[in-house]
Amino acid sequence: MAADQIYQDKMDKSIKAFSDNLGSVRAGRANPSVLDRITIDYYGTATPLQQVGTISTPDPRTIMIQPWDNSILKKIEKAIQTSDLGINPQNDGKVIRLAFPQLTEERRKELTKLVRKYAEEAKVAVRNIRRDAMDDYKKQEKKGEITEDDLKRLEKDLQDLTDKKTAEIDKITAEKEKELLTV
C-alpha cells in the first residue's frame, strides 16, 4: 500500500527533527550546531548566524565566529547573550569567541533530562502518526476499499514500524546521554 510509505516518511521526519534538536544540546565540547537556532536582525531580516559569517572550532572547547560584515559584531554578541546557551561571548573587534567550560555534574544531569524530554516528544509524534494511519486504514475498511484481513495486516505492519522507530529514538537518546555523561 502507498500509504505505508507516507507514514514511514512522516515518522522519519519526526526522528530527523528529534536529532536536530539534540544537536543544539551542548555536550561540553564546542559544536557549531549549538548556534543553529540563533538568529540576528540583519538589515531588517531575522538571519541565521551561519549566513552572516564563518563559524569554526579552533580547539575542542572554543567556537569562533568571524562575520563577513564587522558592523554586526555587537548584534551577534547580543543574540548569543540572550539565547539559552549560557555562554558569554568574547568580542575582540574582529571575531567573537565562545569558550565552552567543562560541564558540571548538575548541568550534565539537567541536559540528560532535556534529552529525555525531547525523546518523549519524538515518541509521542511517532505514536500520533500511527494513530492517524490507523484511523485512515479503518475508514478505508469501512468504505470497502480494503478487507478486514488487510486491515489486520496493516495494523501489525504499522505497529512493527512504530516499534522500530521508537527503538531508533531510544538508541539516539542513549548515544546522546552517553556523550553528555562522559567526562
Residue ranges of domains in the chain: 2-23+104-181, 32-99
pTM for the model: 0.68
Q: What is the DSSP string of 39-82?
A: EEEETTEEEEGGGSEEEEEEETTEEEEEESSGGGHHHHHHHHHH
Query: What does the pLDDT read at residue 124?
Result: 95
Average pLDDT score over residue span 40-66: 85
Per DSSP, helices labelled H in the chain are: 2-23, 73-82, 105-143, 148-181
Whether the Cβ atoms of residue 97 and residue 63 lie closer than 8 Å to each other: yes
How far apart are the C-alpha atoms of 65 and 77, rounded to whole Å? 10
Domain 2-23+104-181 adopts which CATH fold?
A: Topoisomerase I; Chain A, domain 4 (1.10.132)
Structure confidence at residue 28 as a pLDDT band (50, 70, 90):
low
Joined together, the cell numbers standing for residue 104 give 558540571
Query: What does the pLDDT read at residue 80?
Result: 84
pLDDT tens for 113-130 read 888 999 999 999 999 999
Q: 32-99 has which CATH code? A: 3.30.1360.40
pLDDT tens for 72-115 read 888 888 888 887 777 788 888 888 888 877 777 887 888 888 88
Query: What does the pLDDT read at residue 164?
Result: 94
Which residues are bridge partners to 39 per DSSP? Answer: 48
Side chain identity at residue 22, one-letter code = L
For residue 1, pLDDT beyond 60:
no
pLDDT tens for 135-179 read 999 998 899 888 889 889 999 999 999 999 999 999 999 988 888
Which residues are bridge partners to 67 per DSSP? Answer: 53
Among 123, 87, 118, smallest CA distance to 21 is for: 118
Average pLDDT score over residue span 33-60: 84
